[in-house]
Amino acid sequence: MAEPYASWIDHPLFQAVGSAADELGLPCYVVGGWVRDRLMNRKNSKDVDFVVVGDALAVAKVAAAALKAGKVAVYQNFGTAQFTWHGWQIEFVQARTESYRSESRKPTVQPGTLEDDQRRRDFSINAMAVGVHRAAWGELLDPFGGREDLEAKMLRTPLEPIETFSDDPLRILRGLRFASQLGFALDEATLEGMKTTADRLAILSPERIQTELLKILESPKPSVGLGLMYQCGAMEVLLPEVAALAGVDEVEGHLHKDNFWHTLEVVDNTAAQSENVWLRLAALLHDIGKPPTKKFMKGTGWTFHGHEFLGGKMAKKLFRRLSLPLDARMDYVVKLIQMSSRPIAVVSDSATDSAVRRLLFDAGEDIEDLMILCSSDITTKNPRKKSRYLANYDRVKAKMAEVEARDHLRNWQPPIDASQLMSWFDLPPGPMVGQMKTAVREAILDGAIPNTFDDAKAYVTAWAAEHGIPLKS
C-alpha cells in the first residue's frame, strides 16, 4: 500500500481540528473506522472520530467555532463531544483507559495515552490513528498491526481476545458484522475467544443486538456473519430459534437435510436478488417452525406439517424480544413466512385459476418478494433438479401474469363497498354487510363472476334475494 496519509487529511476539516489542537497544545488523532476505510480505498466515509490526549471538549469547541459548525453536543459523563459540518458527523473523545464490571458493558473511564485508547478498541484494524496536530501531522500510528491485518483480511483483537470480549461482548457481534461486510476471516484465537465469552452476550440490550443483526443481513454475503455467529455460540444465545435448525436426525435410514446451513444458503440467494433487509430476515426465519413440528411418520418419512404458520407466530415473538419494529415490517415478514409454501402448490398444470387468484389476492404487492423467497429456497446441488424447480416457478409466474392481466387482483379492492350495500338493501352496519362483501369476494376469487362493478352488483342482488334480503324500494 502507498502511504498518502498526509494527503488524506489535506482538507479544511482536519486542518481546522489540527489547528485547534495546536492552539491548545494537545495531541490529536483521527482514529478508527475512517482510517481503516481509507486504507481500504473506501473514500466516501463522512463519519470521523478524533482522539485527543487531553481536553477533547475544548478541541471540539475551538474546531467547531473555526468551521462555523454551530452547536457542539457535549456528553460530560462520557467525555465526548459531537457536531455536524457539511454532512460530516464528527466526534471527539479524550484518550482513555477503561475497566469493566462483569454485569455491565459500561466502563469506568480514566484519562490515558493514545496507545491506551487504541488498546481498548475492538479490533486491530480499528485501532489505527493518523496525527492531525503539527508534531505528528499525517503520521500513521499502528501499534497492533492493523495495517498488516487489513492486507491479510484478518480480524484480531488488540488485547487477548477473552479480555476484549469479556469487557464488552458487543465486540463479538461487531466482529461478526465486520467479517460479513468486509469478507474478512477471524483468526483462530479471536474465534476461540468469542466461543469462550459468548454467554456474555446476554447482557446486551435488544436494540444493540438487532442493530448488528440487521447490518449482518445487509452485508453482501450474510452467511459469512451468520455462520460465524453459529460457530462461536452467539446464535444459540441470541437466535435460539435459528440455531435449533442445525443438525440431522436419522430414523430407519431416513435423513432430513440440515435446515440451518440450508437456511444460510437461502439468505445468500435472497441477498443476491434483493437489498430488502426485511426480505432477507424473512429468509433467515422462514423455516424456524420446522424443529417444533418435526415428526417421523412410518412409510412417509420426516414431516413438518404447519411449520409455516407456527414459524410466523415464532417470528412475532422474536420481533418483540429483539425490539424489532412491531409495525408493517413485522407483518410483512410474518406474511412471507406463512405463505412461503403457497407458490409451489400452483406449480402443476392442473392448478386452477382460482388457486392462482387466491395466491395473488393474499400476497398483494408482496408477490414478487414472495417469489424471490421461494426461488431462493431451491438449494439442491443437482443441476437437473435445480433447473426443473426453477422452470416450475417460471410456470407459476406465467400463470400469475395471465390471471393478473385478466382479473387485476393485486392490492385488490372490492368492486362494491359497504356503503353501497347498505344503501341498496337498506341495511344498518353489521355482520350481514360483511357476509355480502365476503360472498362477492369469494365469487370473484373462485372465477364465478368477473371482477367488475356490474357483475358484482348482479351477483350480490341475487345472493341477497336467496337470503330473503330485498332491494330498497
> pLDDT of 330-378, one tens digit each?
999 999 999 998 887 776 655 677 888 888 888 888 999 999 999 898 8
- pLDDT tens-digit readout, 46-101: 899 999 999 999 999 999 999 999 899 998 777 789 999 999 999 999 998 765 55
> Using an 8 Å Cβ cutoff, are 377 and 390 in contact?
no
Are residues 131 and 52 both part of a single domain? yes
Cβ atoms of 471 and 425 within 8 Å: the answer is yes
Question: Is residue 1's pLDDT more than 50?
Answer: no
Residues 144, 159: one domain? no
User: Residue 376 to residues 4, 239, 281, 463: CA-CA distances in angstroms?
Assistant: 44, 21, 13, 44
Indicate whether 172 and 198 sit together in one domain: yes
Is the pLDDT at 258 greater than 90? The verdict is no
Structural domain span for residue 461:
418-466
Between helix 367-376 and helix 328-338 the angle, nearest 10°, is 50
Which residue is listed with cell 409455516? 308
Cα dihedral sign, 360-365-368-374: negative
Q: Which helix (H) or strand (E) holds 403?
A: helix 383-407
CA gap 410, 272 in Å, rounded: 25
Nearest to 95 by CA among 113, 78, 77: 113
2, pLDDT greater than 50: no
Q: Is residue 271 part of a domain?
A: no
Q: Judge whether 285 lies within some domain.
A: no
Boundary residue ending a domain (133, 151, 169): 151
317 within domain boundaries: no
Task: Name the β-bridge partners of 94.
Answer: 52
Q: Where are the alpha helices (DSSP H) in 102-187?
A: 114-119, 146-152, 161-167, 170-182
Residues 17, 107, single domain; the answer is yes
Which pLDDT score is estimated for 120?
A: 87
Distance (Å, rounded) from C-alpha 353 to C-alpha 404? 10
Q: How many CB atoms lie within 10 A of CB 416?
A: 17
Least confident of 145-154, 186-195, 206-215, 359-368: 359-368
DSSP secondary structure code for residue 71 in this structure: P
Summarised one tens digit per residue, pLDDT across range 97-141 is: 765 555 555 655 677 899 988 998 999 999 999 999 999 999 999
Q: Which residue has 435445480 as its cell numbers?
A: 386
CATH of the domain at 161: 1.10.110.30
pLDDT at 405 over 80: no
> Buried (b) or exposed (e) across 64-96, using 16+ Cβ within 10 A?
beebebeebebeeeebbbbbebeeeebbbbbbb
Provide CB contacts within 8 A for 158, sequence distance 6+: 118, 119, 120, 121, 123, 124, 127, 144, 164
144 and 35 in a common domain: yes
- Would 68 be classed as within a structural domain? yes
When pLDDT is averaged across residues 247-259 and rounded to a whole number, the result is 64
Write down the pLDDT at residue 392: 78
In a domain, 293, yes or no: no
Q: Which residues contact 6 (CB under 8 A, 6 or more apart)?
A: 137, 138
47 and 114 both lie in a single domain: yes
> Could you tell me which residue, 71 or 391, shows the higher pLDDT?
71
Domain boundary among 117, 151, 185: 151
Give the whole-angstrom CA distance, residue 85 versus residue 74: 16
Model confidence, pTM: 0.85
Residue 179 has pLDDT above 60, yes or no: yes
pLDDT of residue 103: 58
Alpha-carbon distance of 139 to 149, in angstroms, equals 19
Percent of the chain with pLDDT over 90: 65
Please answer whether residues 176 and 234 qualify as being in contact, where contact means their C-beta atoms are separated by less than 8 angstroms. Answer: yes
pLDDT band at 279 (very low <50, low <70, confident <90, very high): very high
What DSSP state is assigned to residue 124? G
Closest CA to 274 of 333, 217, 213, 334: 217
pLDDT at position 413 over 80: no
CATH code of the domain containing 115: 3.30.460.10
Cβ–Cβ < 8 Å for 82, 89? yes
| Predicted pLDDT at 126 | 95
List alpha helices for 219-352, DSSP H: 223-231, 234-238, 240-243, 259-273, 277-285, 290-293, 307-321, 328-338
Residue type, 146: G
3-state secondary structure of 466: helix
Last residue of a domain, one of 117, 136, 151: 151
Cα separation, 339 vs 358, whole angstroms: 11
Task: Assess if residue 179 is contained within a domain.
Answer: yes
Q: Which residue has the higher pLDDT, 355 or 3?
A: 355
Number of structural domains found in the chain = 3
pLDDT tens digits along 295-325? 877 766 767 788 899 999 999 999 999 999 9
Q: Are residues 45 and 127 in the same domain?
A: yes
Residues 168, 157: contact at Cβ < 8 Å?
no
Average pLDDT in the 184-205 region? Answer: 95
Q: Identify the pLDDT of residue 75.
A: 85
What's the grid cell of residue 307?
A: 411449520
Average model confidence (pLDDT) across the chain: 89
Does position 34 have pLDDT exceeding 80, yes or no? yes
User: 110 and 208: one domain?
Assistant: no
> How does pLDDT run across 205-216, given as a tens digit for each residue?
999 999 999 999
CB neighbours (10 Å) of residue 211? 16
Nearest CA to 98 among 190, 17, 168? 168
Q: Does any domain span residue 139? A: yes
Task: Judge if 103 and 25 occupy the same domain.
Answer: yes
Instruction: Look up residue 125 and give its three cell numbers.
Output: 484494524
pLDDT at 349: 53
Q: Please report whether residue 330 resides in a domain.
A: no
pLDDT(243) > 70: yes
Higher pLDDT, 257 or 397: 397
Percent of the chain with pLDDT over 70: 91
Q: Which three cell numbers stand for residue 426?
A: 337498506
Residues 80 and 177 in one domain: no
Q: Are residues 228 and 90 in the same domain?
A: no
Which residues, 6+ apart, have CB-to-CB distance to 349 below 8 Å? 395
The average pLDDT across 146-165 equals 95
**How far apart are the C-alpha atoms of 313 and 338, rounded to whole Å?**
9
